[in-house]
Amino acid sequence: MTELKKKIRLRTVISAGAGLALATVSYTSNMQVASYMAGDSGWMAIVIAGLISFLAAFCFAELVGMFPTAAGIKLFIERAFSEKAALVFATVYMTISVAVVGAETFVLSSVLATAFPVPRVFWIFFFLITIALINIRGVTMAGLTQDITTYAMFAALIGLSVYALVKNDFQLTTPLSPGSGMGLAQAVAIGVFLYLGFEWVTPLAEETTDFKLIPSGMFGAIILLGVSYALFNVALTSTVPKALLTKSPIPHVLFGQALFGKAGIMLMMVMSILASVTTFNAGVMTASRFIYAMARDRALPKVFQNLHPTYATPWPAIVALLTVSTIVSLAVHFTGQYKVLIFLGAAVECMIYIVMGASVIGLRKRRPELKRIFKVPFGWLVPVFVVLVYGLLFVMVFVPDPANPADAHAQLLALISLGVVFVLTIGYVFWLVPALRAKYEAEARKRQKRRPGRPAATGAAPQ
């Protein structure tokens, strides 16, 4: 059977880890963070969220060192607790993370609609199909695309931010005074969304030239994201009045216009295209490997473990992701509820970090003999801290802030949506997965009966 190929190097591990976070919707998230903070102090929440994300990355590093596999996140939870718990949390996490693409395509189409007289739906289909085809073509092409777009985005974000600050003579409003404690806590909770997906590189462990590159890639991605977004947040709020930013789903276009006029609008359109390519490419590249691994473990239909005979890519999984992303994107397009996905994305990130911290603790208790290539320092202090802090941030995602009453509706819808996804996933794990595995076992027994005493030359059982 065709296997995944080991071709991914450190630069692509970093770009894949940062890619999902370098989304067009991250500009809107930056504005959300700033709206909870006083003056130009939003950078503080972003830095705090980055430091906490760094501690979560320690937990992922220890886990991936023990289990370097495409099914990483599922396997971490399974070995620490149980397979059913692993299937529930991993499926909820992956489903909502992919659904965030709906907010991305909404913001992107809103940007492009300001200059091109083309229906927004066209851009949704165009970008999703293009990235799916690039990923089917092979991990080398997908990785090269990821490297070019990601590092171009970092250079542009940092360069434009520094230019804006210099142009404004660094005239900032209370950059060191965050305002209320409630506002800071909620800003940090939303700030977690800006690091969304640094851990998505774990499913690429089977395709890296050395799986030990995964921890370095996560740390590198968090540092680059933190520096870029902290600078951009200060530049954004010191250039454009917050009253205008909070009313627009495309604050970065207002930023570009304030800096360069019409030329700035066009520049931000180019950056939006790069951001969307970077994000969806990273999402497809990693989520498709997770689906492939789930099918290999008989938790999904076995069609998803098929690889392209020429390019060795999980093309059925890529097609499935294209379908789901298109449906969610169209739903957001027609309802305009993109903020719901921002809150959902932040919540599910907090959730998976809680589970990963708990998994580190669980595995240290249950499997202390396992070799750990990387071990989180300071004993249990870091994983316990990760569980407690992200538990608090998870709650804060859904707590309405009196200073931002307009977000209360989106927060409620996000909480309801998360509950619905959990209920559906639990039903899938406890009823459909056992039925699926029973079906495969029955098929394997039938094949065995048809060839008694003969070598298994054809039709190997599912792995």
Whether 112 maps to a domain, the answer reads yes
**Any domain includes 49:** yes
Other beta carbons less than 10 A from residue 231's beta carbon: 20
**Residue-number span of the structural domain to which 112 is assigned:** 11-450
Mean pLDDT of 368-381: 84
Question: Mean of the pLDDT values across residues 148-174?
Answer: 88
Q: What is the pTM of this model?
A: 0.75
Is 421 part of any domain? Answer: yes
Look at residue 416 and tell me whether its pLDDT is greater than 90. Answer: yes
Distance CA(349)–CA(13), nearest Å, equals 19
- What CATH number did the domain enclosing 55 receive? 1.20.1740.10
Q: pLDDT at residue 248 above 80?
A: no
Q: Is the pLDDT of residue 26 over 90?
A: no
C-alpha dist (Å) from residue 145 to 16, 166, 224, 313: 10, 32, 18, 16
Q: Is residue 380 part of a domain?
A: yes
Least confident range of 77-86, 115-124, 248-257: 115-124
Res 2 pLDDT > 70: no
Check pLDDT > 80 for residue 313. no
Residue 8 has pLDDT above 70, yes or no: no
Asked whether the beta carbons of 363 and 370 are under 8 A apart, the reply is: yes
- Which span out of 68-82, 104-118, 204-218 was modeled with the highest average pLDDT? 68-82
Where residue 126 falls among pLDDT bands split at 50, 70, 90? Answer: confident
Token pair 């992919």 is found at: 98
Task: Give the pLDDT band (50/70/90) at residue 142.
Answer: low
Ranges 229-233, 347-351, 370-374: which has the least confidence: 370-374
Tell me, yes or no, whether 458 lies in a domain.
no
User: How many whole angstroms separate alpha carbon 345 and alpha carbon 331?
Assistant: 16
Q: Is the pLDDT reported for residue 305 higher than 90? A: no
Question: Across the chain, what does the average pLDDT equal?
Answer: 81
Determine how many CB atoms are found less than 10 A away from the CB of residue 339: 22
The total of structural domains in the chain comes to: 1
Residues ≥6 apart with Cβ < 8 Å to 452: none
Would 463 be classed as within a structural domain? no
User: Quick check: is 277 in a domain?
Assistant: yes
pLDDT at 88: 93
Q: What does the pLDDT read at residue 268?
A: 84
Q: Is 424 within the bounds of a domain?
A: yes
In the 8-state DSSP scheme, what is residue 117? -
User: 70-90 pLDDT, tens per residue?
Assistant: 566 788 898 889 989 989 998
Q: What is the pLDDT of residue 459?
A: 39
